[in-house]
Chains A and B, each alone.
Chain A
Amino acid sequence: DAKTTQPPSMDCAEGRAANLPCNHSTISGNEYVYWYRQIHSQGPQYIIHGLKNNETNEMASLIITEDRKSSTLILPHATLRDTAVYYCIVRPYNTDKLIFGTGTRLQVFP
């Protein structure tokens, strides 16, 4: 079973920041938070991951709370092409298995 809770859907205006929350209250010390997205039945696309520090790359920023029980994925300037299902996944560093939940369907509108 997925160890994360995400809202089923969110809307965001094009050009605005999209903030996608994720709860992972049972996360363990050796577990990373990963974010993937899936655009209309394409293969899941890796976005970003982190352990306890905030992370930023060319796609997004990941903010992890100090107690690590929740995180937020930030797309700073959402575009129509960011419309997708976003999955927040908690994974121990030493296992291969990604357990996908139901994700958040982000709709970016003009």
Chain B
Amino acid sequence: DTAVSQTPKYLVTQMGNDKSIKCEQNLGHDTMYWYKQDSKKFLKIMFSYNNKELIINETVPNRFSPKSPDKAHLNLHINSLELGDSAVYFCASSSRTTSGGAPRADTQYFGPGTRLTVL
């Protein structure tokens, strides 16, 4: 009954390679996110998608390309991996509701994380 799941849990790869991380949620949410937690433990948002459309795109290198095939999935593809990409990547999901005509983002629920190590 996992709510937000990610695969793989660990990913070790060489510099220059291309890799993907998958995320799935079974909460019926319409918004999904990717966050990065670096070695200093700072957790920062990278992207968010609502109904398969990009909503937030923070200052992230274009080597990172999120892809949302449907509302339940948001995958992260990383090209030409660099040493600085080593981090833990967390997926999250939430629902957007409308209150008084204005969109409202509800509570975000996080996945267990993918630890990426670039050698």
Contacts and interface: CB of A to CB of B under 8 A. Distances in A.
Contacts, number: 59
Given A96-B48, A100-B42, A100-B44, A44 B110 contact: yes
B47 to A, nearest CB: 10
Interface string B88-102: 101010101001001
Contacts of B56: 96-97
> DSSP majority for the A interface?
loop
Contacts of B109: 46
A99 B43 CA distance: 8
Given A94-B104, A94-B105, A95-B105, A43 B45 contact: no
A93 B104 contact: yes
B62 interface: no
Interface residues of B, number: 31
A49 B90 contact: no
Interface residues of A, number: 21
Given A96-B31, A97-B56, A43 B112 contact: yes
Nearest to A45: B110
B108 interface: yes
Contacts of B48: 96-97
A84 to B, nearest CB: 12
A41 B50 CA distance: 26
29 contacts: A34-B107, A41-B88, A41-B113, A41-B115, A42-B112, A42-B113, A43-B111, A43-B112, A44-B92, A44-B110, A46-B107, A46-B108, A46-B109, A46-B110, A85-B41, A93-B102, A93-B104, A94-B102, A94-B105, A96-B48, A96-B50, A96-B56, A96-B94, A96-B96, A96-B105, A96-B108, A98-B108, A99-B45, A102-B42
